[in-house]
Structure formats: structure tokens, C-alpha cells
Structure 1
């Protein structure tokens, strides 16, 4: 791509403009230093070349020189060739396949040959074009790439049609002002550099290269149209063509995590880290994935190591502070005051970069800023703070404002709004303040439906449905805790429907499984307490049980909080005649509640219900001794509570 600086007079203003664009495109990782040196050499040859010095390769229509295949009668592809792509060929010369000897046999001796540190530039003239530069490999044995300089800049649509590129999605490379400077077609190895001096951004140069993974990776990385299915295919192709492309593995890990394919995300994250073990972003991603799978301790340790690394940039530190705060607020022993301190540091660091000229840095900063504001609101809601009812809404409102500004003015991801709605409902599900979930839920559903209708991509649509499922889960919790079981049941039922609609595609993490278990338990509770349908309640509890009995669960959350859940489930199992299971669940719940009482998380009287239930169950089962034991424990708790 950096070849775009060619074809202009070295001392003219237009050449200075092209050189500036080359530096901007370089920041987008589209070219290497080796290619930059080729550009300089090619530019020198262009300014010196005259028609009397060149060999002519004639043609009536110059664009007929471009062909999709090198030879007629190509072998039909087999199923295993489905991901192989045929590059554009120029006058029988195919980059990456044609040798220099074959080139000179076809085209003759070049008008000029410019030696470089690695390889050479062979300069030809073809009728209808200003100049053709052929770049060789380091040994000067094979053709590495071809750069075609057009006589006059041409419309993109015209070039697209003549080169038969219309069926392919292009990569759009923008400068820092969001102005396109080049288009890439990964399937054909084509890069079209635009004429920056033209207001209409016409194509000035056509670069032909072998099919490489880099353009596929860049199309996925620069996708702002939510074409997640295409991006997954592009990244798969990128790592197939170049298994050592660590960034492609990392991008695939991030995308797989986003769309709910946790196992694939973990695998790609491991590969990226093996290839570049010191990369701070790759380390952060893998630390987060480890925590989501139940290893909070490792997640905290590895995230802290990124913060301690002197090579970590400020914007990556902002992301690390945000992530560390999230992990400290999770796990069996959350410390919300400490978590908030890290989230506030994330805010301070990201604010410094919201006006950064580099779009990638600027947008990362704005995304972190929104997420960190939401996280602070949650820390306050869960922690030991005063004036929660006044302060929490302010942080949530500010998060919403920042999100809207990001979306409207800097191409921010529109799913941010859904995350704000989801987080708001989750926070009020744990607060005692009066809150009508119906209003926020209606707005979230309206926005979700709009997003689903706006993009024809199944993977993206499933992502939105998953967000809406969580929105409805938290809305149901809000309504249930405030004594509105009818709306709670409606929200929970719709949440289940959305979750099940994508069940075949999901690879849930342990965190996802816990969320799913909470939803199934909520459904069971609603059937048991509002409809007294214990048979249906048990069917939902059966679905919830695996999530609450996972061996790694104590590493992810405080398991004592599930004590009441087990006691509630025990009642329904008893009602349907599964008495042994009922006693087992109630006993397990009592033990978890007892642990919470011992560490001060619950008051002593929280044990009265499970002990009373156990006393009644054992009495009806004829276990007189056990019944008396629990009856005495319940009486002692009641007496101590009354004394206090």
C-alpha cells in the first residue's frame, strides 16, 4: 500500500501530499519497511523514464492486460480448494508464481532496473499506462508484485468492473480524517491506491500481489458494518495463509468471545500468546478468558503483570485497569472499594486519549470510558457506600451520554446502548430503590430490533439476541424483587426463548453458564411461588442445577449466595414427592448459608428457615433424632435473635 506515493514529481506539492498519505497508511499496518524502500526506488525511476527508453507492450484496450487466471482451461477446483483464491494476472505475469526469466521471455528486457537491498525493480512501459513496476524477490528470481501507474486517475467503479472485482467486499483504508486513501480486495491480491489530490478520490495506481493473509485480517479488523460472519471467515483464512499471524489469532479470539463461542476464543487466544508472549493486549485477553472460565486468581495476576510492565502503553493500561477492577469485583471475595479505585484510574487514563489523532486509540479510549462509568456505578451499588440512590444514576446517565456521543460522532459500536440498558437493569436488580424495569426494557427491545433489522448477518443478529436475553433476565429480577410476578414471568419467558434460539451455536464460558442457571432458577421460582406449580418448577430447577454444582464455581463467585436457592428448590422437590433430593438440597443450602453467617455476609436468622424445613422433613420421614436436632437449632437461633 505504501507504493501509493509513487508517480509524482519528487519536488512537487502533489508528491509531498502523497508522501504524507503513505505515512498515514503505514500506521494501519498495510505495508512493511521493505515495501517502502521499493516505493522510493520506483518513484525515482518514474521521474526519469522517457518513452524513447522503454520497450512497448502494445494493446488496444490496456485493461485487457488484466486477467483473472494466468492460463485458459484451468483445472476445476476440488472441495479442498474452496478457500483458495486466484490472483489477478497482468499480461500473463502472476505475482508469486512467475519467474523473472519467464517475465523477460514474455515482455523482453526492462527499460530500467533498479537494484535494492532486497530484490530489484524492473521498469516497463505498457501502452495505455504511465508505467509498470515489477518488484522481484531478494534473489531476483521470481516476481513478487506488480505496480501499475494509470495514465489518468479512474473511477473506482470503472476499475472494479474492468478487473472483475464487483463480487468481492473491499477493505477501505482511511486516513486519520476518515478519508479513504486505498481499497483492497483480499481474494484477488489487489490494492487500489486513490489519487489524494482529487476531490472524488479516483484510483491512481493498481498493485497486484500474491494472495496473502494480511488483507483478509485487515478487512476483519477494519469492519465497521458488523459483518461478523465474513470477519470470522476472513480471520480463518488469514491464519490459514499465515499460521504465524499472531494478530489474526488475537482478533479471532476477541471476536469469538464477543459472539459467545468461548472454546474457540480460548484456543485462538492461546495461539496468539504463544506467537507473541510479550504482547500486552494478547495477555489481557487471555487473562480475561481465564477468569471467565473460573480462574479469577490467574486473571488478576496476569492483568496486574500487564500494568507492571514498563512497555505497556497508557491506552493499554487504561484497559488493564478497567479489567482488573472487574476481576476484583468478582470472585468469592469481592472488594468493591478497591475495584472502584481501578475503574476510576481507567477513566483518568482513557480521558487523555479521547481526542487522539489515531482512530484506533481514540475509539478504544472512548469505549473504555463508557464501560468504566458503568463499572463504577456497579461498584457503588454493591459496595458499602452512602447516598447510592443519588450517585448511581449519575454514573449511569453519564455512561449513556458518552455512549451516544461515541456512536453519533466517532463510529462507535451501536451495541453500547444495549450494554448500558443491560447494566442499568442489573444494577437496580440488586438495589432497593424503586425502579420500573418496563420502561428501560421496552427501550432496549426497540433498539435491539432496530439493530437486528439493520444488518443482514446471522452471527451479529445472534449477538444482539444474546444481549436482549440478558436484558430480559435482569428486568425479570427487578420486577420479581419488587412484587410484580406477572411482568417478571413475561420477561423471564422471553429471555429463555431468545437464549434457546441460539443454543446450537453457543459455547458458554463458566460465567455464561452461571447466568443461564440464574435464569432457569428464576423461572422455577416464579412457577413455584406465583402459580404453585411445583412440577414445572422442578423441571426448571433440573436445568439450573449443573450451573450451581460446577466444580470451578467457588473460584468464580461466592458460593454461599446460592444457599437460599437450594433451600427454595428443596421445597418444590418435596412437594412433588422427591423427598430424598429435597433433604439433600435443603441440607446443602443450610451449609452454604451457615458459611455466609460465619463470615458476616448474612445475619444469624437466615438459618431459621432451612433448619425449620429440615426439622419438618426429617419428622415426616420418621427420623426423630434428626428432626429434634434441627428443631433445637432453629429454637436456639430464634432465641438469640430475639435477645439481640
Structure 2
């Protein structure tokens, strides 16, 4: 740098000193110093070269860049994480994002360094959500009035047609930064979940306390059906910034997925408390919190659909207010809440006690489709929205005793899943899509059973089983997932057992259910102990009728043990035990064991002393 001569200008702001050099053929070169150490270099160009030309000159063709968009939806830069390099783009390259959104954005971004950091935030690096201001900074690149501030950015996948018009205005070099890997991870979700996870692991290898990486990792783990890991990641994020609402929401989502409904509700109620002023400061985040609160009520062991509906209506009002924001990220999250709020209302009405349920559910679903179509056309929804919408519609219809014919919803959810599977070669994303498809088809099974269309129920059930078992191979299913998959096989077997009285065919399905349901009580959430045990007791009847007496007794004993646990934990009254005890008494009696038969007969007639469940 001695050959450059003295700088043409210099300025100091806080701990940063920026020297400006006039060097041909560049417009200028800016160096940012921290304690006399160069931390960042910005080479300002004349804007005549395109991105592909710069990439070729710098050997960047093999490095995947993360396109960055500002809060108004305009392309501002490309970041190359492995090289510690960013290309700032000309205003001519600024465009509104297309409809192939890939990220459920959270909050409007802020400068992203954890604490003081090593990279001067003024170097022009945009930052994703989940960041915090790093304090003093000196801009390397002055921005014109018509360009968005680099202190706030949203991250988004761009339409492929942009490339030919983009021009590079500056090349920024700095130390390899974990933030850049977080930014690229956000772009890769949801269609490249495995690749996103690699980026987040790299970010944490560079800085194990990068709370934005932990927060993004929590959201990704929840999406991939790994709630225990999601909770751990959220706790790590909160250790870095305990007041950030995005991380509190990530923690609440993980708790809800783990079946810890009371803990999740407490977390979101704390966020919505008046003293926190979240409703005034960030209505889109308050809407998300209200939506989660409603789900805590609707998905609880003893659902309160009236309170759920109140919270979901509140969430939609907050989301509608946030739709007026000029910030793209805020509008994206608000739009997602609006769609999910309408779908949640359909679910609350279908499963709750309401008048005119059929018509009301259809109205909520129709409105959800309208809102989703409008939001998708504006580029406000992510790539998963069609799959989620149709899955949620089927979940709602399964709550109606006289459900409408679900064929159109089934066809649409299958088409949405096929489109996503065609668009990705990422194993984790494929597993996620297949699991979501399987859960949707599981609801279709329930609907067709209610309609008496057992052939259709079996067809959808087989497709659901194929999708979910393929997904479970790499999903590491937790107890709730195992329960769902086991219950699917149980339902298919029950069709043969109850409708056809064909217990041999029923046990063929039950054989596939048992590996998922064969868990000790300690691994099963308290609210699932009763239905889990009842399934095992019911399956045991078919094994007994099919001549498999030993298996029948073992299953009944296991199921009775789980149901006893439910009674002990006040999740059920003691009289629920009369069914398994009477079954065991008859089984032992027919097997010639009079002592055991008498024992279980006494237990079956034992007075109820456990009181009423909670």
C-alpha cells in the first residue's frame, strides 16, 4: 500500500478509520482500519462490468453466491461466504422479487455482528434477520438517497432472468464472516435444507456464539421435524440475545412440537404481555405469537377451540395491520400469518362446538385460498405454501362428522408435493415434503372413513404409509411422530378388523404399527399415554382372534401399563382401565390361568379412586 501514496481522504468514526485512495483504473479504493489493522477493503468500480465478468476475473465461478435484497425488495449485493467477498450491485440491477420465495422471513434485518465483531458493518454487508447492532461503525461505501440502507436487508431467492442487466459497483473484501454463511443458509431454505444446515454448521464453527446462526438452525430443525434439537438451538440463540423475540418464538415453536403445550403457551404469553410492547413495536411478530398461542389451545391434550379461535382472530388483525409496512420482510411474515390464521380458524370451527360448522369451515377455507393466492402473486409466500395450505385444509375437514368429499384437496396436495420433489435433490427437503404429504393423506384416511368410503381410505392410507416411512428413515422421529405413524397403520388395520371382521389382514397392518408404538412409558408424553395404550389394547384383540395369543397378552399388558400411567398422571380416570383388565381376565381364563384371570377381574371392578383427569 506504500506505492499507493497518501490517501486522498480519511475519516474516523468510533473505533473505525477509513482511508480513501484514488487509484486507476478504479474510481476509488477504501480501507477500513481497526487499531491500525486493515479489516476491510472496498474497491469502487465504474459499474461497467457485470457480475459474471467479475466472477470470472476473480475465480468465483465455483462459489455459490447468496443474493441479497433490501427491505423494499431490491437486489443490492451478492455475498460469497467462502471468499469473504461481496459484490455490490448497481441501481439498474434493482428489481422487485418474484414469486419463487424461499424463506419465511422473520423480522426486519439489522447489522448482524455478535457484539463488537471483526468486520466493520459499514463495509456494506447486508444482514439477515436475527441480527443485532454491532455498535460503532464507519461506512466504506457512501449510499445515494435512492439506494436502501445496508443496515437493514431481507434475503430472498431471485428470478433467474436478472443476470444480464446486473452491474457491479463495488467489490468488498473482508475476513470470512459467519454472517455470510447464515445469509446463504436463509436463501437455501426450504428447497435445499441439507445445504443450509451445512452453512449454519460452518457459521458456528467460525463463531460458536453466533446467535443468528443458532436462531436460524432452530427454525430449520423445527421445519425438518427435529424439535428437540430445535429447542436446544433456540436456547443457544437466546443465550446470545435473550430479548430477541424471533428466538423466543423459535423456542415456543419447538416446545409446541415437543408436546409441551403449557410451556409453549407461557412463552408466547410473555411475548404478548403489554409491558413488552411487541404489538406496537412489531405487529408481525406479535401476530406470529398470537397464532402460536392459538395453536397451543387447539392442539392441547384437552383442546379449547373457543380460546384458540379468539387468539387466531387476534393474530389476523395484527397481521393485517403489519401488511401496511413498507418493509418486505414484515409483509412476508404478515402474509404468512394471514393465510395460517384463516386455516387455523377452519380447524378450530371444524373440531370445536359451533353452529353451522359445515358452511363456516368452507367459508374459512375459501377465504384462505383467496388470501394465499393474492400473497403468492405478490411474492410474499415461500415455496412450501401450496403444500401447507392443502394439508391444513384436510386437517380441518377431518374434524367434521359429515366431511365434504376431499378428492380435490387430495389431488392438490399430491400435486404440490410432486412439484416440490421435482424441484429439489436435497435429501432433507425430500424427507420433509414426504412427511408433510403423508400427514395430509392420513387426514384423508380419516375423512374417507367417516364417509364410509373404505376403499379410498385404504388407498390414501397406503400412499401415506409409503410417504411417511420413507421420510422417517432420516427424520429421527420423536414420540409424536412415532404415534402418528403407528396410528396410521392402526387405522388401516382397523378397517379390516371392524368393517370386514378380517383379523388376519388387520394384524398384517398392526405388525407394521408395533415397531413405532413399542416404546416405554418414560419416552411418551403424558397426554399421549391414554390413546397410545388404547391402540395397543385394541390391536391385541385382532391378534387374539387370529390365534396369536402370546402377542395379544403382551400387547394388552403393555397397553394397560401405559393407560395406568395416564391415570397416575391424572390424564384419565381409573375406569378407563376396565377394558384392558377385562380383556386380560378373559385371555388368561381361556388360556387356563385362573389365578391371573381372577386378579384382573378384581382390578377391572376396582372402585374409581384416581379422581377426574386434569
Q: Identify the TM-score tier after normalising by the shorter chain.
A: 0.7 to 0.9
2:492 maps to which residue?
523
Instruction: Give how far 1:232 is off.
Output: 1.6
- Pairing 1:90-489 to 2, within 5 Å after superposition: 103-104=1-2, 107-137=4-34, 139-140=35-36, 142-196=37-91, 200-223=165-188, 226-308=191-273, 309-312=275-278, 313-489=282-458
The DSSP-based 3-state class of the residue aligned with 1:385 is coil
Instruction: Give how far 1:128 is off.
Output: 1.3
2:508 maps to which residue?
536
- Pairing 1:494-573 to 2, within 5 Å after superposition: 494-529=463-498, 530=500, 531-533=502-504, 534-546=506-518, 550-551=521-522, 553-557=524-528, 559-562=529-532, 564-573=534-543
- Contact kept, 8 Å, 1:180 with 1:201, in 2: the verdict is no
| Cα gap change, 1:564 to 1:134, in 2 (>3 Å) | closer
TM-score, length of structure 2 as denominator length: 0.77
Structure whose CA Rg is larger: 1
The DSSP-based 3-state class of the residue aligned with 1:352 is helix
Taking the aligned partners of 1:414 and 1:210, their CA distance within structure 2 comes to 33
Please give the per-residue CA displacement for 1:537-556, whole angstroms capped at 9, x wherever unaligned: 44134224236x54364544
Taking the aligned partners of 1:595 and 1:186, their CA distance within structure 2 comes to 51
Query: Does residue 621 of structure 1 match 2:591?
Result: yes
Taking the aligned partners of 2:434 and 2:566, their CA distance within structure 1 comes to 37
| Cα gap change, 1:164 to 1:584, in 2 (>3 Å) | closer
| Cα gap change, 1:210 to 1:568, in 2 (>3 Å) | same
Taking the aligned partners of 1:491 and 1:177, their CA distance within structure 2 comes to 44
- Contact kept, 8 Å, 2:486 with 2:514, in 1: the verdict is no
The DSSP-based 3-state class of the residue aligned with 1:207 is strand
Instruction: Give how far 1:514 is off.
Output: 2.2
- Contact kept, 8 Å, 1:250 with 1:269, in 2: the verdict is yes
**506-515 or 142-151: bigger deviation:** 506-515
1:30 maps to which residue?
none
- Contact kept, 8 Å, 1:294 with 1:555, in 2: the verdict is no
- Contact kept, 8 Å, 2:526 with 2:571, in 1: the verdict is no
Instruction: Give how far 1:499 is off.
Output: 2.0
- Contact kept, 8 Å, 1:291 with 1:556, in 2: the verdict is no
Taking the aligned partners of 1:571 and 1:198, their CA distance within structure 2 comes to 68
Taking the aligned partners of 1:619 and 1:154, their CA distance within structure 2 comes to 88
- Contact kept, 8 Å, 1:511 with 1:556, in 2: the verdict is no
| Cα gap change, 1:132 to 1:542, in 2 (>3 Å) | same
- Contact kept, 8 Å, 1:295 with 1:556, in 2: the verdict is no
Instruction: Give how far 1:215 is off.
Output: 1.5
Instruction: Give how far 1:181 is off.
Output: 2.1
Taking the aligned partners of 2:385 and 2:241, their CA distance within structure 1 comes to 30
Taking the aligned partners of 2:198 and 2:525, their CA distance within structure 1 comes to 37
The DSSP-based 3-state class of the residue aligned with 1:430 is coil
Instruction: Give how far 1:449 is off.
Output: 0.8
Taking the aligned partners of 1:198 and 1:386, their CA distance within structure 2 comes to 54
Please give the per-residue CA displacement for 1:218-275, whole angstroms capped at 9, x wherever unaligned: 2223457733232222222222222222111101110121022334323322211211
| Cα gap change, 1:537 to 1:160, in 2 (>3 Å) | closer
Please give the per-residue CA displacement for 1:177-214, whole angstroms capped at 9, x wherever unaligned: 42212222222222222222678442112111111111
The DSSP-based 3-state class of the residue aligned with 2:27 is strand
**Where in structure 1 are there 5+ consecutive unaligned residues?**
1-102, 636-644
- Contact kept, 8 Å, 1:146 with 1:209, in 2: the verdict is yes
Choose between structure 1 and 2 for higher RCO, CA contacts under 8 A separated by at least 6 residues. Answer: 2
Taking the aligned partners of 1:109 and 1:439, their CA distance within structure 2 comes to 72
The DSSP-based 3-state class of the residue aligned with 1:551 is helix
- Contact kept, 8 Å, 2:194 with 2:428, in 1: the verdict is yes
The DSSP-based 3-state class of the residue aligned with 2:378 is helix
RMSD over aligned CA atoms reads 3.4
Q: Across the two proteins, how many residue pairs are aligned to each other?
A: 526
Taking the aligned partners of 1:600 and 1:111, their CA distance within structure 2 comes to 76
